[in-house]
Amino acid sequence: MEKLSLSVNTLLLFVFSFAGLYFAAPFLIPLTLAAVLSMVFIRLCNFFERKGVSRTYASLICILLFIVAMGLIVMLLSIQLGSLADNLDGMEKRIVGMLESLKSWINETIGIKKAQQQKAIEEGTKGKSGGMILSFAAGLMGILINTILVLVYMFLFLSMRGHIKKFVLKLVPKKENADTSEVIHQTGRVSQKYLSGLAAMIGVLWVMYGIGFSIVGVESAIFFAVLCGLLEIVPFIGNLTGTGLTVLAVMAQGGDGKMVMGVLITYFFVQFIQSYILEPIIVGEQVNINPLFTIMAIVLGELVWGVAGMILAVPLLGMAKIICDSYPQLQPYGFLIGPENSKKPKTTIVDYFKRMFTIG
């Protein structure tokens, strides 16, 4: 009975925690994003400190490197968007033609006349253009403010990480300091390895998508390759979204069925290489979570924090699993989140090659 009561109390704690996360999203999203990203730069910051650079300046250098990396990606996308803008007139005409064909199909199939369809579209969009512009401007300003907040938080987390660790250790009895310190290091390593591996994999995906889309003949192939790679940040959903947008763009560019099929073949080929070669080598099983709870975490993250929640869901759940595994009371939850057959890792093509070249 006591164990059941403890489980119920733990579940209630989770429910109230998620409610708090939802209502405190404007404050917690940039703070959590900065905390996770700052863990990626801890090793680099330690490297600069070993070279004699003070912790403050080492943290500042890491932030500047992060800004430069993000700036290069934005510049690359801007250049590709410029080339894409040259074809907007032709794409607009094709989209209008596709919409007219759709209206004709609706008229012939359902019996709704084109004039009625146009009237319904105009009534649905009437008076919304001004609101859309204001919403876009407000959203852009919010992104700018949150970006600055994330950079400031990252710098403070890196420069004050020793002070924060001491605070956490003061919360537990001295005899548990060693175990707590190990848990802190393990959770930090999960974020470091997962995000750094994910960044390396995205770089490889850019090259593969760029080559594939260029061979197929997609206009502004580099732009869509970078877009598909960046969307891999969101597991399961991102790759489908990127490929779907590329297919729609190809159709708007006047591409035929062969080109669309080429894009889909490129997608399936890249996904095969990613799942069976890149992830085992580059990312590995850094976040040891079963697919059910991975998808649940992504969906719940989107409900609570939107797109930011989808991006942060997997690394945060990986950290939560380490914490659960470290405390006996929470180990059942760590077991539930973990893989079904933890002692039987997934066989990959890499394993087959290892077996082929292993003697004996």
Q: How many CA atoms lie less than 13 Å away from 79 in the CB half-sphere?
A: 8
Nearest to 294 by CA among 344, 238, 246: 238
Output the pLDDT for position 350: 46
pLDDT at position 66 is 92
- The pLDDT tens digits of the residues spanning 223-267 come to 888 888 888 887 767 778 888 888 887 877 777 778 888 888 998
From the number of C-beta atoms within 10 Å of its C-beta (0-12, 13-18, 19+), residue 173 rates as exposed
* Span 115-144, pLDDT tens digits: 666 666 666 555 554 555 666 566 677 788
pLDDT score recorded for residue 278: 74
pLDDT at 65 (0 to 100): 93
What pLDDT score does 182 carry?
82
Compute the distance between CA of residue 304 and CA of residue 306 in angstroms, rounded to an integer: 6
Closest C-alpha to 224, from 245, 203, 197, 240: 245
pLDDT value of residue 152: 94
User: In this predicted structure, what is the pLDDT of residue 360?
Assistant: 40
What's the CA gap between 280 and 200, in Å, rounded?
13
Cα(233)–Cα(309) distance, integer angstroms = 11
At 170 the pLDDT is 87
| pLDDT score recorded for residue 134 | 64
Q: Is 216 within 8 Å of 263 (Cβ atoms)? A: yes
pTM more than 0.75 = no
Q: What pLDDT, on a 0 to 100 scale, did the predictor assign at position 92?
A: 62
Average confidence (pLDDT) per 10 residues, the chain, 360 residues? 63 78 88 90 91 93 92 81 62 66 71 66 55 63 86 93 88 81 81 79 89 86 85 76 82 77 90 78 64 84 86 84 83 83 50 45
pLDDT score, position 62: 93
Rounded distance between C-alpha atoms, residue 118 and residue 107, angstroms: 12
Q: What is the pLDDT of residues 70-96, one digit of tens each?
A: 888 888 777 767 666 656 666 566 666
Confidence at residue 50, expressed as pLDDT on a 0 to 100 scale: 92
